[in-house]
Amino acid sequence: MPKETEPQKETVQRVMHEFKHGELRSGASGQKVKNPKQAVAIALSEAGASNQQSPKENEARLRRTKAKERRGETAEAETEGRGAKGSRTKRG
């Protein structure tokens, strides 16, 4: 089994952190994830480290996740005040 790369490890850590703090939500429904096994599956999928997807799909998922992290669109970033939505204020 291939080892996870550093960006993949960071993504898995972030997703599990969100789960631990009750911030992780599932895809379309947006409900909070309460099952640890589901949280692990989401973490591996977002990190592009899933053995259920092709290598091409994994690469695309990791790229998409890293872009989301750079934009500050993760639950962790939003709750810590670094989110793209929460950091902008109207001036005028």
| HSE of 3, CA atoms in CB hemisphere, 13 A | 2
Structure tokens at 68: 């989301």
The CA distance from 26 to 75, in Å, is 12
User: Of 91, 46, 37, 44, which Cα lies nearest the Cα of 65?
Assistant: 46
* pLDDT at 28 (0 to 100): 84
What residue type is assigned to position 21 of the chain?
Answer: H
Mean pLDDT of 10-23: 94
Q: Where are the domains of the chain?
A: 6-73
Is the model's pLDDT at 1 over the cut of 60?
Answer: no
Is the model's pLDDT at 37 over the cut of 80?
Answer: yes
